[in-house]
Amino acid sequence: MTDELLPAALDGERVDRVVAMLTGCSRAEATAAIEVGSVTLDRVVVTRGATRVRAGQRLVVEGDPLRPPAEIEPDPSVEFGVVHEDAEVIVVDKPAGLVVHPGAGHHGATLAAGLLARYPELRVVGDDPIRPGIVHRLDKGTSGLLVVARTQSAFESLVEQLSDHSVDRRYRALVHGHLETARGTIDAPVGRSRRDPLRMTVTASGREARTHYEVLAAYDDPAPVSLLECRLETGRTHQIRVHLRSIGRSVVGDDLYGGARGPFPIERPFLHAVRLGFAHPGDGRDVWFESPLPADLNDLLAGLR
Protein backbone atom coordinates (compact mmCIF):
# COMPACT_ATOMS: atom_id res chain seq x y z
CA MET A 1 0.00 0.00 0.00
CA THR A 2 1.11 3.55 -0.76
CA ASP A 3 0.17 6.29 1.73
CA GLU A 4 1.61 9.74 1.02
CA LEU A 5 1.02 13.39 1.91
CA LEU A 6 1.49 15.12 -1.43
CA PRO A 7 4.28 17.75 -1.55
CA ALA A 8 4.03 21.16 -3.22
CA ALA A 9 6.01 19.87 -6.19
CA LEU A 10 3.03 17.69 -7.21
CA ASP A 11 0.37 20.38 -6.81
CA GLY A 12 -1.88 20.45 -9.89
CA GLU A 13 -0.66 17.16 -11.38
CA ARG A 14 -3.08 14.54 -12.71
CA VAL A 15 -3.74 11.84 -10.14
CA ASP A 16 -3.00 8.98 -12.55
CA ARG A 17 0.45 10.46 -13.22
CA VAL A 18 1.07 10.90 -9.48
CA VAL A 19 0.09 7.29 -8.76
CA ALA A 20 2.50 6.11 -11.47
CA MET A 21 5.32 8.29 -10.12
CA LEU A 22 4.89 7.19 -6.50
CA THR A 23 4.42 3.46 -7.08
CA GLY A 24 6.61 2.85 -10.12
CA CYS A 25 3.72 1.43 -12.13
CA SER A 26 2.76 2.46 -15.67
CA ARG A 27 0.08 5.04 -16.44
CA ALA A 28 -2.13 2.22 -17.71
CA GLU A 29 -1.70 0.34 -14.44
CA ALA A 30 -2.46 3.53 -12.50
CA THR A 31 -5.64 3.95 -14.54
CA ALA A 32 -6.63 0.35 -13.82
CA ALA A 33 -6.11 0.91 -10.07
CA ILE A 34 -8.36 3.98 -10.24
CA GLU A 35 -11.04 2.09 -12.16
CA VAL A 36 -11.35 -0.57 -9.45
CA GLY A 37 -11.53 2.02 -6.66
CA SER A 38 -8.08 1.45 -5.16
CA VAL A 39 -7.03 5.14 -5.08
CA THR A 40 -8.30 7.73 -2.59
CA LEU A 41 -7.56 11.40 -1.98
CA ASP A 42 -8.33 12.53 1.58
CA ARG A 43 -10.37 9.32 2.03
CA VAL A 44 -12.54 9.98 -1.06
CA VAL A 45 -12.37 7.38 -3.82
CA VAL A 46 -10.91 8.80 -7.05
CA THR A 47 -13.03 8.02 -10.11
CA ARG A 48 -11.15 9.91 -12.87
CA GLY A 49 -7.47 9.75 -13.76
CA ALA A 50 -7.64 13.39 -14.90
CA THR A 51 -8.44 14.60 -11.38
CA ARG A 52 -5.88 17.20 -10.26
CA VAL A 53 -4.24 16.76 -6.89
CA ARG A 54 -3.46 19.49 -4.35
CA ALA A 55 -0.42 19.86 -2.15
CA GLY A 56 -1.10 18.49 1.34
CA GLN A 57 -3.70 15.95 0.24
CA ARG A 58 -3.36 12.40 1.50
CA LEU A 59 -3.07 9.94 -1.38
CA VAL A 60 -3.65 6.26 -0.61
CA VAL A 61 -3.22 3.46 -3.13
CA GLU A 62 -4.47 0.16 -1.74
CA GLY A 63 -2.46 -2.91 -2.70
CA ASP A 64 0.08 -2.93 -5.50
CA PRO A 65 -1.09 -1.44 -8.81
CA LEU A 66 1.62 -3.28 -10.74
CA ARG A 67 -0.11 -5.76 -12.97
CA PRO A 68 0.35 -9.47 -12.33
CA PRO A 69 2.59 -11.25 -14.83
CA ALA A 70 1.15 -12.10 -18.24
CA GLU A 71 1.66 -15.77 -17.37
CA ILE A 72 2.19 -17.62 -14.12
CA GLU A 73 4.80 -20.23 -13.34
CA PRO A 74 3.84 -23.66 -12.00
CA ASP A 75 4.47 -24.01 -8.27
CA PRO A 76 4.51 -27.61 -7.00
CA SER A 77 4.85 -26.40 -3.38
CA VAL A 78 1.24 -25.13 -3.28
CA GLU A 79 -0.92 -27.50 -1.25
CA PHE A 80 -4.62 -28.08 -1.97
CA GLY A 81 -7.06 -30.97 -1.95
CA VAL A 82 -8.71 -32.63 -4.94
CA VAL A 83 -12.03 -34.36 -4.31
CA HIS A 84 -12.66 -35.33 -7.95
CA GLU A 85 -10.92 -35.25 -11.30
CA ASP A 86 -11.78 -36.58 -14.75
CA ALA A 87 -11.03 -35.63 -18.36
CA GLU A 88 -13.24 -32.52 -18.18
CA VAL A 89 -13.15 -31.08 -14.66
CA ILE A 90 -11.22 -30.91 -11.41
CA VAL A 91 -13.07 -30.25 -8.15
CA VAL A 92 -10.70 -28.63 -5.67
CA ASP A 93 -10.99 -28.35 -1.89
CA LYS A 94 -9.19 -25.05 -1.25
CA PRO A 95 -7.63 -24.41 2.16
CA ALA A 96 -8.21 -21.09 3.90
CA GLY A 97 -5.39 -18.59 3.37
CA LEU A 98 -4.67 -19.54 -0.24
CA VAL A 99 -5.36 -16.96 -2.96
CA VAL A 100 -7.00 -18.44 -6.06
CA HIS A 101 -5.13 -16.49 -8.73
CA PRO A 102 -2.67 -13.55 -9.00
CA GLY A 103 -4.04 -10.03 -8.93
CA ALA A 104 -3.13 -6.47 -8.12
CA GLY A 105 -1.32 -6.47 -4.80
CA HIS A 106 -0.69 -10.22 -4.71
CA HIS A 107 2.08 -12.02 -6.55
CA GLY A 108 2.77 -14.82 -4.07
CA ALA A 109 1.62 -18.44 -3.94
CA THR A 110 -1.72 -19.10 -5.64
CA LEU A 111 -3.99 -22.03 -6.34
CA ALA A 112 -3.58 -21.30 -10.06
CA ALA A 113 0.17 -21.88 -9.85
CA GLY A 114 -0.36 -25.09 -7.91
CA LEU A 115 -2.90 -26.31 -10.45
CA LEU A 116 -0.50 -25.67 -13.33
CA ALA A 117 2.18 -27.74 -11.62
CA ARG A 118 -0.19 -30.69 -11.32
CA TYR A 119 -2.21 -30.18 -14.52
CA PRO A 120 -0.01 -28.41 -17.12
CA GLU A 121 -2.72 -28.74 -19.80
CA LEU A 122 -4.70 -26.03 -17.99
CA ARG A 123 -2.43 -23.33 -19.42
CA VAL A 124 -4.48 -23.21 -22.64
CA VAL A 125 -7.90 -23.37 -20.94
CA GLY A 126 -9.99 -20.29 -20.23
CA ASP A 127 -9.90 -16.67 -21.32
CA ASP A 128 -7.15 -15.30 -19.06
CA PRO A 129 -3.63 -16.79 -18.75
CA ILE A 130 -3.41 -15.94 -15.04
CA ARG A 131 -6.64 -17.87 -14.36
CA PRO A 132 -6.04 -21.16 -16.19
CA GLY A 133 -9.25 -23.17 -16.18
CA ILE A 134 -10.71 -21.16 -13.29
CA VAL A 135 -14.38 -20.27 -13.73
CA HIS A 136 -15.16 -18.96 -10.23
CA ARG A 137 -13.21 -18.30 -7.08
CA LEU A 138 -13.29 -18.24 -3.30
CA ASP A 139 -11.97 -15.43 -1.12
CA LYS A 140 -8.55 -15.97 0.44
CA GLY A 141 -10.03 -16.62 3.89
CA THR A 142 -12.79 -18.94 2.63
CA SER A 143 -12.20 -22.67 2.41
CA GLY A 144 -13.98 -25.34 0.44
CA LEU A 145 -15.04 -26.41 -3.02
CA LEU A 146 -14.58 -24.87 -6.44
CA VAL A 147 -14.58 -26.43 -9.90
CA VAL A 148 -11.81 -25.98 -12.47
CA ALA A 149 -12.31 -26.71 -16.17
CA ARG A 150 -9.78 -29.03 -17.78
CA THR A 151 -10.81 -28.36 -21.38
CA GLN A 152 -12.03 -25.27 -23.23
CA SER A 153 -15.43 -26.84 -23.92
CA ALA A 154 -15.83 -27.62 -20.21
CA PHE A 155 -14.83 -24.04 -19.37
CA GLU A 156 -17.49 -22.62 -21.66
CA SER A 157 -20.14 -24.98 -20.29
CA LEU A 158 -19.39 -24.06 -16.67
CA VAL A 159 -19.28 -20.32 -17.42
CA GLU A 160 -22.73 -20.63 -19.02
CA GLN A 161 -24.06 -22.54 -16.00
CA LEU A 162 -22.76 -19.88 -13.64
CA SER A 163 -24.32 -17.20 -15.81
CA ASP A 164 -27.76 -18.84 -15.74
CA HIS A 165 -27.46 -19.51 -11.96
CA SER A 166 -27.81 -23.29 -12.31
CA VAL A 167 -24.65 -24.17 -10.35
CA ASP A 168 -25.53 -25.23 -6.79
CA ARG A 169 -23.10 -23.51 -4.40
CA ARG A 170 -23.73 -23.89 -0.68
CA TYR A 171 -21.74 -22.57 2.26
CA ARG A 172 -21.65 -22.94 6.03
CA ALA A 173 -21.43 -19.62 7.85
CA LEU A 174 -21.41 -18.86 11.56
CA VAL A 175 -22.87 -15.41 12.20
CA HIS A 176 -23.24 -13.14 15.20
CA GLY A 177 -26.69 -13.11 16.80
CA HIS A 178 -29.92 -14.96 16.12
CA LEU A 179 -32.18 -14.56 13.09
CA GLU A 180 -35.90 -13.86 13.30
CA THR A 181 -36.82 -16.34 10.57
CA ALA A 182 -35.60 -19.90 9.99
CA ARG A 183 -35.00 -19.23 6.30
CA GLY A 184 -35.06 -16.33 3.91
CA THR A 185 -33.59 -14.59 0.89
CA ILE A 186 -31.43 -11.48 0.82
CA ASP A 187 -32.07 -9.73 -2.48
CA ALA A 188 -29.91 -6.61 -2.62
CA PRO A 189 -27.47 -5.28 -5.26
CA VAL A 190 -23.78 -5.40 -4.39
CA GLY A 191 -21.11 -2.97 -5.60
CA ARG A 192 -17.83 -1.46 -4.52
CA SER A 193 -17.90 0.93 -1.57
CA ARG A 194 -17.03 4.51 -2.48
CA ARG A 195 -15.76 5.14 1.05
CA ASP A 196 -13.46 2.14 1.25
CA PRO A 197 -12.17 0.60 -2.01
CA LEU A 198 -11.29 -2.66 -0.28
CA ARG A 199 -14.92 -3.33 0.61
CA MET A 200 -18.07 -4.19 -1.24
CA THR A 201 -21.43 -2.92 -0.04
CA VAL A 202 -25.16 -3.05 -0.70
CA THR A 203 -25.81 -0.15 -3.07
CA ALA A 204 -28.48 0.78 -5.60
CA SER A 205 -25.74 1.20 -8.22
CA GLY A 206 -24.42 -2.35 -7.69
CA ARG A 207 -25.14 -5.56 -9.59
CA GLU A 208 -28.09 -7.77 -8.70
CA ALA A 209 -27.29 -10.27 -5.98
CA ARG A 210 -29.35 -12.90 -4.16
CA THR A 211 -28.38 -15.13 -1.25
CA HIS A 212 -30.73 -17.74 0.22
CA TYR A 213 -30.14 -18.84 3.81
CA GLU A 214 -31.42 -21.40 6.30
CA VAL A 215 -30.69 -21.52 10.02
CA LEU A 216 -29.19 -24.88 10.96
CA ALA A 217 -28.54 -24.21 14.66
CA ALA A 218 -28.48 -21.39 17.20
CA TYR A 219 -26.19 -21.05 20.21
CA ASP A 220 -25.96 -18.74 23.23
CA ASP A 221 -22.66 -19.61 24.89
CA PRO A 222 -20.04 -18.16 24.85
CA ALA A 223 -22.03 -15.59 22.81
CA PRO A 224 -25.20 -15.61 20.69
CA VAL A 225 -24.39 -17.01 17.23
CA SER A 226 -26.19 -18.93 14.49
CA LEU A 227 -24.98 -21.55 12.03
CA LEU A 228 -26.39 -20.96 8.54
CA GLU A 229 -26.44 -22.73 5.23
CA CYS A 230 -26.18 -20.09 2.51
CA ARG A 231 -26.95 -20.80 -1.14
CA LEU A 232 -25.68 -18.44 -3.80
CA GLU A 233 -28.00 -17.60 -6.65
CA THR A 234 -25.56 -15.01 -7.97
CA GLY A 235 -21.82 -14.81 -7.28
CA ARG A 236 -20.70 -11.26 -6.58
CA THR A 237 -17.43 -10.44 -4.84
CA HIS A 238 -17.81 -10.98 -1.06
CA GLN A 239 -21.55 -11.54 -1.63
CA ILE A 240 -22.37 -13.71 1.38
CA ARG A 241 -20.29 -11.59 3.73
CA VAL A 242 -21.82 -8.33 2.49
CA HIS A 243 -25.38 -9.63 2.49
CA LEU A 244 -25.15 -11.03 6.00
CA ARG A 245 -23.65 -7.78 7.27
CA SER A 246 -26.54 -5.89 5.63
CA ILE A 247 -29.04 -7.70 7.89
CA GLY A 248 -26.90 -7.18 10.99
CA ARG A 249 -25.51 -10.72 11.09
CA SER A 250 -21.82 -10.46 10.16
CA VAL A 251 -19.79 -13.64 9.75
CA VAL A 252 -17.79 -14.53 12.86
CA GLY A 253 -14.11 -13.71 12.32
CA ASP A 254 -14.77 -11.42 9.34
CA ASP A 255 -12.83 -8.33 10.39
CA LEU A 256 -13.46 -6.57 7.07
CA TYR A 257 -17.24 -6.64 7.45
CA GLY A 258 -17.71 -6.13 11.16
CA GLY A 259 -17.63 -9.75 12.28
CA ALA A 260 -15.34 -9.35 15.28
CA ARG A 261 -13.87 -12.54 16.68
CA GLY A 262 -15.10 -11.79 20.20
CA PRO A 263 -14.64 -14.87 22.38
CA PHE A 264 -14.13 -17.18 19.42
CA PRO A 265 -10.69 -18.66 18.64
CA ILE A 266 -10.66 -18.11 14.89
CA GLU A 267 -8.11 -16.51 12.56
CA ARG A 268 -10.34 -16.05 9.50
CA PRO A 269 -14.03 -15.74 8.56
CA PHE A 270 -16.16 -18.76 9.48
CA LEU A 271 -17.17 -19.44 5.88
CA HIS A 272 -16.77 -22.77 4.08
CA ALA A 273 -17.98 -23.87 0.63
CA VAL A 274 -19.51 -27.15 1.70
CA ARG A 275 -21.41 -28.31 -1.39
CA LEU A 276 -21.01 -27.87 -5.15
CA GLY A 277 -23.31 -29.23 -7.84
CA PHE A 278 -23.45 -28.72 -11.61
CA ALA A 279 -24.27 -30.41 -14.89
CA HIS A 280 -21.16 -32.31 -15.94
CA PRO A 281 -19.76 -30.71 -19.13
CA GLY A 282 -18.97 -34.11 -20.59
CA ASP A 283 -22.35 -35.85 -20.55
CA GLY A 284 -24.76 -33.40 -18.92
CA ARG A 285 -25.48 -35.56 -15.86
CA ASP A 286 -26.03 -33.77 -12.55
CA VAL A 287 -23.08 -34.23 -10.20
CA TRP A 288 -22.46 -32.90 -6.72
CA PHE A 289 -19.61 -32.90 -4.24
CA GLU A 290 -19.29 -32.14 -0.53
CA SER A 291 -16.49 -30.98 1.73
CA PRO A 292 -16.58 -31.42 5.53
CA LEU A 293 -15.80 -28.47 7.76
CA PRO A 294 -12.04 -28.10 8.26
CA ALA A 295 -10.60 -28.64 11.72
CA ASP A 296 -10.46 -24.97 12.80
CA LEU A 297 -14.18 -24.43 12.11
CA ASN A 298 -15.24 -27.83 13.45
CA ASP A 299 -13.34 -27.26 16.69
CA LEU A 300 -15.02 -23.88 17.16
CA LEU A 301 -18.46 -25.41 16.69
CA ALA A 302 -17.68 -28.15 19.19
CA GLY A 303 -17.17 -25.53 21.89
CA LEU A 304 -20.59 -23.87 21.43
CA ARG A 305 -23.61 -24.51 23.62
Active site residues: 139
Q: In angstroms, rounded to a whole number, what is the distance separating the alpha carbons of residues 243 and 190?
A: 8
Q: Which long-range contacts (CB under 8 A, 24 or more apart) does 296-300 make?
A: 296/96, 296/266, 296/267, 296/268, 297/143, 297/172, 297/174, 297/266, 297/270, 297/272, 299/265, 300/174, 300/252, 300/264, 300/265, 300/266, 300/270
Estimate the crossing angle of helix 27-35 against helix 15-23, to 10 degrees.
Answer: 110
Displacement of CA 273 from its chain's centroid (Å): 12
Using CA atoms, how far apart are residues 27 and 149, in angstroms rounded to an integer? 34
* Cβ(142)–Cβ(118) below 8 Å: no
